Amino acid sequence: MRPTPSRLLNILVPVKRCVDYAVKIRVNPQQTGVDLNVKHSMNPFDEIAVEEAVRLRDRLKDEVKSIKVVTIGPAKATETLRTALAMGADSGIHVEIPDGPGPEPLGVAKTLKAIIEREKEKAPVDMVIMGKQAIDDDMCATGQMLAGLLGTAQATFLNKLEVDPKAGVAKVTTEIDGGVEELECKLPAVFTTDLRLNEPRYATLPHIMKAKKKPIEKLSPSDLGVDLTPILETLKVTEPPKRTGGVKVESVDELVSKLKDAGFTAVA
Amino acid sequence: MLSRSSAILSTARLNFARTYATAASPHALVLIEHRNGAIESSSLAALTAATELGGEVTGLVIGGPDQVGSIVEKAKKLKGLKSVLHSTSEQYTSPVPEIVSPLLEKLLGSGSAYTHFVSAHSSAAKALVPRLAAKLDVPHVPDITSLSHSEEGTTFTRPIYAGNAIATVRAPASLPVKIFTVRGTAFAAAADGGDVSAEVLEPVSVSDSPTTHIKTSLTKSDRPELGAASRVVSGGRALKNAETFKSTMEPLADVLGAAIGASRAAVDAGYADNSLQVGQTGKVVAPELYVAVGISGAIQHLAGMKDSKMIVAINKDADAPIFQVADAGLVADLYEAVPDLVEKLKATK
């Protein structure tokens, strides 16, 4: 797909504006979703993705030509792009959609594919680095779907990423059930980040000020020829069943007898 | 039986048109994952979920030449399966999604007799299934905890927002194939008791995979597997370091015959291996007994364990959120309480 092996890297980082991870969410009374009138911030896994792209530039210097961040979301999602720009990305694309429940991963993946095809002429995307999952819908799918649509390599749940731009390959370590796996991916490729890939930086005030001047391109789904109408029907959103916990015991002896009553005794 | 299922495959295009119009009974294809010669317990739960659709269920075993034989023998005995398909290739020994997906695309693509594709919500499936769904241009529903099937489609429940809300979603009947992954702890494992035939499925060779598998390193352990253990003891940040984590948690795990888990804080601080993390971003467990030691109970951690039958918490901080879900909470210094608990448990044998 990439004829010239030695080239400068263009990195695309999709980010999502989510309900902040520390917010205790509430299901709305109509049972159509959760109360979104709360603090939002960048999806934590996406922060790790932005950080990794910026660190790649720190390591590879001029071999990283551009870091572009993209978001699909309501007007307020621009703030999320600004945060990413303050962390070190160069420019942003905001695909604006109305407020409300976000699109499905398949729709997002198709939008990202359309953006990548649009960029092909000026700055062909070599790497997409994105979070492994958004902490709101917990779908864990968009990166894999994008790689599938593009027909490129994918590596999910990264905890280590080493890129050799000259050879056009990336060596990665990914987290799997029970351990880790090492893979080698030919670029272009899609990578999704796990928590342990890095520790995202805080944007400093000068960087935040500078980020205000960085360009953000506004697009609509129709500009890209994509339809973000959900295919799955959400019938309702409900509270999970409440646990009847909250019982305290006074001593280890009491704990042991409680365990024994419940049928838990020593096996060894 | 063998000839019948191949007839379904060969006349699939015809069947498809009819399926579409009358919503014929479902036919699910279940991916049976395996490791070290054993079927993954989460795949057994996926099989149970597939049988709840109320139609036929076909098992699919993919693997290297040395792996598949014994797994197929085990799969043939599983209750609920109508038949077992198996596909073998050197390429499937340590497969990556780029290599497995084409086989599944062929099997589930246009004209397929399968109405559903089911897999466990394992790390391998999390990587593979969305890629496959995108290739087939359909959405998928991950990590489901219940399901029901009707003429209107297949309805699932799945946790969102780290398990703090439950979404009920319907994959409409118009979708040619409904793809979902199953939360292993939400369904009982399928038992033995069947006796079905097996059928060879030609592998699809991928000549120029963009991704190459280099190495898999698994954390060795003699303890029960965390995701499937009936008892789990889990340690948090209060364990101070890797040595005290080991010296405190292992005797407790030993006396209870439990698997060891950890909170994200403990994993990030290097006290325990990544693969032991319980929570939204780690493993979701629902054992009979979950003992949380020195874990405060952040929502991300609770997302991974709050469906446990009995939760025991030992923590110095009486206000720790873990006590709100604990069936037995002990406010105490874990360095005194845990050794004491181990000693006193030994007397209960």
User: Coil, helix or strand for B148?
Assistant: strand
- How many contacts, defined by CB atoms under 8 Å, are there between A and B? 265
Q: What does the mean pLDDT of chain A come to?
A: 94
Show residues of chain A in contact with B257, CB under 8 Å. Answer: 267-268
Task: Report the C-alpha gap between B198 and B78 in whole angstroms.
Answer: 12
Q: What is the pLDDT of residues A74-131, one digit of tens each?
A: 999 999 999 999 999 999 999 999 987 789 999 999 999 999 999 998 899 999 999 9
Residue of B nearest to A20 (CA): B161
Contacts of B241 (CB under 8 A, 6+ apart): B269, B271
| Mean pLDDT, residues A250-256 taken together | 94
| Mean pLDDT, residues A172-189 taken together | 94
Residue of A111, A187, A264 to mutate, testing the B interface (most B Cβ within 10 Å of its Cβ): A264
Question: Which regions of chain B are under pLDDT 50?
Answer: 1-22
Task: Report the C-alpha gap between B146 and B155 in whole angstroms.
Answer: 8
Interface of B with A in 205-224 (CB under 8 A): 209-219
List residues bridging with B120 in a β-sheet: B182
Nearest by Cα to B339 from B277, B249, B275: B249
Show residues of chain A in contact with B169, CB under 8 Å. Answer: 232-235
Check residue A6 and give its pLDDT.
54
Element containing residue B61 per DSSP (H, E): strand B56-63
Nearest by Cα to B285 from B220, B221, B225: B225
Q: What is the pLDDT of residues A184-211, one digit of tens each?
A: 999 999 999 998 899 999 999 999 999 9
List residues bridging with B339 in a β-sheet: none
Check residue B129 and give its pLDDT.
98
Res A151 pLDDT > 80: yes
The verdict on a CB contact (< 8 Å) between B329 and A196 is no
Other C-beta atoms lying within 10 Å of the C-beta of residue A18: 23
| Mean pLDDT, residues A43-61 taken together | 97
Residue of B nearest to A198 (CA): B268
> How close B327 gets to chain A, by Cα (Å)?
5
The verdict on a CB contact (< 8 Å) between A142 and B130 is yes
Check residue A193 and give its pLDDT.
97
Check residue A241 and give its pLDDT.
87
Contacts of B284 (CB under 8 A, 6+ apart): B143, B183, B185, B227, B278, B303, B304, B305, B307
Q: What is the pLDDT of residues B233-246, one digit of tens each?
A: 999 999 999 999 99
The verdict on a CB contact (< 8 Å) between A183 and B340 is no
**Nearest by CB: B349 against A34, A194, A266:** A266
The verdict on a CB contact (< 8 Å) between B169 and A232 is yes
The verdict on a CB contact (< 8 Å) between A157 and B171 is no
> How close A130 gets to chain B, by Cα (Å)?
14
Task: Report the C-alpha gap between A140 and A16 in whole angstroms.
Answer: 13
The verdict on a CB contact (< 8 Å) between A243 and B325 is yes
Tokens 């063998």, residue located: B2
Task: Report the C-alpha gap between B79 and B53 in whole angstroms.
Answer: 15
Q: What is the pLDDT of residues B117-137, one digit of tens each?
A: 999 999 999 999 999 999 999
> How close A128 gets to chain B, by Cα (Å)?
15
Per cent of chain A over pLDDT 70 is: 98
Res A7 pLDDT > 90: no
- Hey, is the C-beta of B316 within 8 angstroms of any chain A C-beta? no
Residue of B nearest to A19 (CA): B161
Show residues of chain B in contact with A181, CB under 8 Å. Answer: 213, 215-217
DSSP A241: P
Q: What is the pLDDT of residues B46-83, one digit of tens each?
A: 999 999 999 999 999 999 999 999 999 999 999 999 99
- Hey, is the C-beta of B195 within 8 angstroms of any chain A C-beta? no
**Nearest by CB: B218 against A178, A248, A260:** A178
**Nearest by CB: A249 against B153, B231, B330:** B330
Show residues of chain A in contact with B137, CB under 8 Å. Answer: 106
Check residue B281 and give its pLDDT.
83
**Nearest by CB: A245 against B169, B219, B326:** B326
Question: Side chain identity at B182, as an amino acid letter?
Answer: V
Residue of A nearest to B305 (CA): A243
Whether the bond into A230 is cis, omega within 30 of 0: no
